Structure 1
Amino acid sequence: MTGQAPAGHFRMRPRRTPRAILLRLRALLAGGLVLGVGATMTLAAWNDSEFSTGTFSASSFALQSSTDSGGAWQEHGTSATAATMSFDATGMSPGSLNYASIWVRTTSGSLSGTLALQGGQLVQGGNAGLFAAFDYRVVRYTSGSCDASQFGEAASYIVGTSSSKVALGTAGSSTAVAASAGTPVRFCFEITMKTTADNSLQGTNSGAVWEIKGTSDS
């Protein structure tokens, strides 16, 4: 039959050239690479996560003061709303003394802290010459009245000492204040008109405002 090999003969396979072998090898390698990628992509790992959350709140620090032996506590946070200490300071003369107290404590729930008495400032409209004619000192006391008896050698001086007084603009030392409306800090102020006050200051008026700056402990 046409196209068939004669009986007893075998069909010879085409001889593969080196180029054909190379192409086939590349095809096999390519197939192996594809299989390798496919095998890698089928690998898997189990995953799980845990989450946690927390809430945070800020502490507070606030002060209030009283000028009537702790009877009425209010916040006096600016010079415009300053508590008025009860000096009986009308008609002061050279060498005369005057006393007044202010008590300071933290509010309920407040942290503890420290109090630092800042130097007195001349009130608006006051006579600067008369302001300069006064000296003062301040003690922290725990009992009794705010008067001359509080200014002994063993007193806890915030401003001045048992033997010295300073100008109204002088700042004082710091002192601790208890937390959460605890025991108040009692300040006793002693104001003295200098014996050297000029005669021209007769009939004039002045005033001072002090800041008691509080800082929380934490």
Structure 2
Amino acid sequence: MVKKQNQRKVLAVLAGGLVLGVGVAVTLAAWNDSEFATGTFTAGAFDLEGSTTSATGGYASHNTGATPPDAAATLVFQLPAVASNMAPGQTVYAPFWVRLAANTTTDADLDAAGVTASPDASSNAENLSYTVYSIDAAATCDAAGIAGADVVASGATLSAFTAGTTETLANGTPVTAAGTAVQLCFEVTAGTGLTQGEAATATWQFTATSTS
């Protein structure tokens, strides 16, 4: 009988321990708590566009690095000579307007990023020099219009490139409007070594970088 009573005591102690263990677990669970926070982040919009027509119309995207690529804008060179009939010493001018498209949410810095000229041996690229000026959007792109203007890029040949000043582009106010246009005036001069009947092609790249 004593042996059975001792077994009951041991079982009673074990049962009490189990009850105590459950009680401790419940007490700890009561002290657990959590806080959650969430945030939503939306990127702004950014788009640079250009026009060979005017400061107010004819704008399109000309991103040759896009997939699929857009065609580069074809500059329209004007008097005193036409680009298709140049002679040594002559200079031609072409305007190109750039602006931030509607719904662009930040201002930008505009920089000339480089130039690529036709590489073939028969090209006149090494016999033509250029300078790109930043002038008022309403100014005439000619010898008088570039007087005192900032130089954005230049090259002793069409395959050479030297970066110039950085221009500022403002986004539209309100943001649903396009930004104020900046006119880039291209001046190309034929050298004394210009070869008759040979052509040359150059493609300039300009990059706008968000400032905020």
* TM-score category, normalised to shorter length: 0.7 to 0.9
CA distance in structure 1 between the aligned counterparts of 2:188 and 2:197, rounded to whole angstroms: 18
1:59 Cα deviation after fit = 1.4
Which one of 40, 44, 51 corresponds to residue 59 of structure 1?
Answer: 44
Letter of the structure 1 residue corresponding to residue 51 of structure 2: S
Alignment CA distance shift 1:166-1:52 (3 Å): same
Q: TM-score, normalised by structure 1?
A: 0.72
Matched, 1:83 2:78: no
Q: Percent identity?
A: 32
Aligned-pair RMSD on alpha carbons?
A: 3.2
Which one of 138, 163, 173 corresponds to residue 172 of structure 1?
Answer: 163
Who wins on radius of gyration, i.e. which is larger?
1
Match of 2:130?
136
Alignment CA distance shift 1:207-1:127 (3 Å): farther
Is the CA contact 2:61–2:70 (under 8 Å) kept in the aligned structure 1?
no
CA distance in structure 2 between the aligned counterparts of 1:190 and 1:63, rounded to whole angstroms: 23
Matched, 1:189 2:186: yes
Local SS of the residue matching 2:163: coil
1:99 Cα deviation after fit = 0.6
Equivalence map 1:8-87=2 (5 Å): 26=10, 29-40=13-24, 43=27, 45=30, 51-70=36-55, 71-78=57-64, 81-87=71-77
How many pairs were matched up?
A: 193
CA distance in structure 2 between the aligned counterparts of 1:77 and 1:215, rounded to whole angstroms: 14
CA distance in structure 1 between the aligned counterparts of 2:181 and 2:196, rounded to whole angstroms: 38
Local SS of the residue matching 2:141: coil
CA distance in structure 2 between the aligned counterparts of 1:96 and 1:42, rounded to whole angstroms: 93
CA distance in structure 2 between the aligned counterparts of 1:207 and 1:35, rounded to whole angstroms: 90
- Residue range with higher mean Cα deviation, 41-50 or 207-216: 41-50
Letter of the structure 1 residue corresponding to residue 87 of structure 2: S
Is the CA contact 2:126–2:158 (under 8 Å) kept in the aligned structure 1?
yes
Deviations along 1:59-82, one digit per CA (max 9) or x if unpaired, are 121111111222321112227611
Local SS of the residue matching 1:57: coil
Letter of the structure 1 residue corresponding to residue 72 of structure 2: A
Is the CA contact 2:146–2:185 (under 8 Å) kept in the aligned structure 1?
no
CA distance in structure 2 between the aligned counterparts of 1:187 and 1:36, rounded to whole angstroms: 84
Local SS of the residue matching 1:40: helix
Mark the runs of 5 or more structure 1 residues left unpaired by the alignment.
1-13
Alignment CA distance shift 1:126-1:190 (3 Å): farther
1:149 Cα deviation after fit = 1.3
Matched, 1:106 2:100: yes
Alignment CA distance shift 1:54-1:86 (3 Å): same
Local SS of the residue matching 1:36: helix
Alignment CA distance shift 1:203-1:105 (3 Å): same
Match of 2:175?
none
Deviations along 1:1-60, one digit per CA (max 9) or x if unpaired, are xxxxxxxxxxxxx9x7xx999878755643542443354356462877665544332212
- Residue range with higher mean Cα deviation, 95-104 or 43-52: 43-52
Matched, 1:204 2:198: yes
Is the CA contact 1:126–1:206 (under 8 Å) kept in the aligned structure 2?
no
Alignment CA distance shift 1:127-1:116 (3 Å): farther
Is the CA contact 2:47–2:101 (under 8 Å) kept in the aligned structure 1?
yes
CA distance in structure 2 between the aligned counterparts of 1:49 and 1:97, rounded to whole angstroms: 74
